[in-house]
């Protein structure tokens, strides 16, 4: 359930289109890798400022060289709140993910989702791809359940059959804000 290969152009088009970016609004990408989604974000939303996080130093340096207009940071998605605040956009409406979520334990998924939810506005959306061949494996099913516990609406796009391997995009809407403690009753 990790990446078999970098996402191809058909999947990148599908995922970025599913994000429904308003050209000009700030966009966050997590797990940018070799940059197929980055390139597509710039194509579909050329006026949007983009923050791309990629922890691999070689990939991050290469991304910055190829996409000079993008703010590339060699960082894990867990640091999103600090990174977005320093960028000047503490809240965004759209997060484009290339993370291999399902290979991770629940605790790491939760840690990263906490960071994503901390920067998503109430009308925010996260998009993330999922390979067709692995969608019914227990880890993928479990991750879908985790997503459904953190977002009020999780839907999926049609399949990008031209991608190797075929994949679809999970579209996660209505981020659930952490419950705030209720008012204290006195008297």
> Where along the sequence are the contacts to ligand SAM (CB under 6 A)?
2-3, 6-7, 30-34, 36-37, 53-56, 59, 76-77, 98-100, 112
**Shortest Å distance, C-beta 179 to ligand SAM:** 25
For residues 3 and 147, which CB has a smaller minimum distance to ligand SAM in the complex? 3
For residues 77 and 140, which CB has a smaller minimum distance to ligand SAM in the complex? 77
Name residue, tokens 């000009």.
Answer: 24
For residues 116 and 154, which CB has a smaller minimum distance to ligand SAM in the complex? 116
For residues 55 and 90, which CB has a smaller minimum distance to ligand SAM in the complex? 55
**Shortest Å distance, C-beta 28 to ligand SAM:** 11
**Shortest Å distance, C-beta 98 to ligand SAM:** 2
Q: Three-class SS string for 100-122?
A: CHHHCCHHHHHHHHHHHHHHEEE
Q: Quick one: tokens of 61?
A: 């340096």
Which long-range contacts does 51-58 make (Cβ < 8 Å, 24+ apart)?
A: 51/26, 51/27, 51/83, 51/84, 51/87, 51/89, 52/28, 53/28, 53/29, 53/77, 53/79, 53/80, 53/83
**Shortest Å distance, C-beta 157 to ligand SAM:** 15
For residues 99 and 154, which CB has a smaller minimum distance to ligand SAM in the complex? 99
Name residue, tokens 């009753």.
Answer: 185
Tell me the DSSP string of 139-173. Answer: HHHHHHHHHHHHEEEEEEPPPBTTSSS-EEEEEEE
**Shortest Å distance, C-beta 183 to ligand SAM:** 37
């Amino acid at each position: 359930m990790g990446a078999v290969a970098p996402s191809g152009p058909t999947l990148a088009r599908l995922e970025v289109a599913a994000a429904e970016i308003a050209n000009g609004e700030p966009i966050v990408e997590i797990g940018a890798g070799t940059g197929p989604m980055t390139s597509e974000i710039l194509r579909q939303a050329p006026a949007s400022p983009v923050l791309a996080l990629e922890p691999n130093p070689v990939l991050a340096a290469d991304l910055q060289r190829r996409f000079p207009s993008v703010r590339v940071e060699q960082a894990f998605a867990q640091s999103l709140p600090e990174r977005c605040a320093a960028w000047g956009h503490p809240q965004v409406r759209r997060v484009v993910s290339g993370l291999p979520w399902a290979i991770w334990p629940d605790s790491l998924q939760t840690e990263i989702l906490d960071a994503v939810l901390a920067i998503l506005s109430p009308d925010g959306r996260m998009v993330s791809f999922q390979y067709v061949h692995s969608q019914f494996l227990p880890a993928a099913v479990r991750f879908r359940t985790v997503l459904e516990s953190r977002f009020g609406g999780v839907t999926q796009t049609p399949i990008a059959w031209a991608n190797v391997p075929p994949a679809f995009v999970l579209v996660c809407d209505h981020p659930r804000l952490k419950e705030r403690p209720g008012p204290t009753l006195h008297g």
